[in-house]
Chain A
């Protein structure tokens, strides 16, 4: 299957700082990338969907000014958590899909990034 990487795998930051998480599709061109968030003992919740070259579509309740998503190329999307607070501490997971190469129209998931805000 296709490989999706995330960087960093974990990050600890102080309250009020901004954190950028990168999601890369390593061996295919991702026309769509998804960002999920997962709190402890809970399921994944979709935050936003981004298509290359266009603005992201955010799910209800997700602040677009706080969670900045950039999908500038077919292999890279970034999520920036601005002015992070302890309640933003979570496991952030990206996935990538491609309408160019239909591999069962699958989403391929990254390994996740654990964010801890002190």
Chain B
């Protein structure tokens, strides 16, 4: 699986959009971009994933650049409960494949 690079930490004001970047310059054509988050002392939670098109669900939006070398996770209206470590992972889509968690970005939503 391709490596990803994320900033170690970010702050965001409550109610504002949180934009979390991820670089994955060595991504291959059959690898998807996945985002998970981990709230303190809990198991990771799936957020969203995409291949090359932008994706949106009830939790977030995922913007993938045209060359697929980077992406941005957008939480449109951050709340205090969004404070967590966010992991960007690239992987082929196969249920048997494990996930390689990098160091992630620690997002702190500030009141």
Chain A residues with CB under 8 Å of chain B are 1, 4, 6, 31-32, 34, 36, 43-46, 49, 51, 91, 93, 95, 97-99, 102, 104-112, 114
Contact between B43 and A1, CB atoms less than 8 A apart: no
Interface string of B17-47 (1 = CB under 8 A from A): 0000000000000000000001001111110
Number of interface residues of B (CB under 8 A): 20
Chain B residues with CB under 8 Å of chain A are 38, 41-46, 49, 87, 93-96, 98-104
Contact between B102 and A105, CB atoms less than 8 A apart: no
Contact between A107 and B99, CB atoms less than 8 A apart: yes
**How distant is B95 from chain A, measured CB to nearest CB, in Å?**
4
Beyond A44-B44, A95-B43, 10 additional pairs, beta carbon < 8 A: A34-B98, A43-B103, A46-B99, A95-B44, A106-B46, A107-B98, A109-B44, A110-B43, A111-B43, A114-B41
Complex: A101 Cα to B101 Cα, angstroms: 24
The number of residue pairs between A and B whose CB atoms lie closer than 8 Å in the complex comes to: 60
Most chain B Cβ neighbours within 10 Å, of A49, A99, A104, A108: A104
Q: Could you show 9 A-B contacts with beta carbons less than 8 Å apart?
A: A4-B43, A31-B96, A32-B96, A43-B101, A43-B104, A45-B101, A97-B95, A108-B46, A109-B45
Q: Which residues of B contact A46 (CB under 8 A)?
A: 98-100
Complex: A1 Cα to B44 Cα, angstroms: 13
Complex: A107 Cα to B36 Cα, angstroms: 10
A105 touches which of B38, B42, B44, B94 (Cβ 8 Å)? B94
Q: Which residues of A contact B44 (CB under 8 A)?
A: 44, 93, 95, 109
**How distant is A53 from chain B, measured CB to nearest CB, in Å?**
14
Q: Which 4 A-B pairs have the closest CB atoms?
A: A109-B43, A97-B95, A105-B95, A44-B101
Contact between A43 and B95, CB atoms less than 8 A apart: no
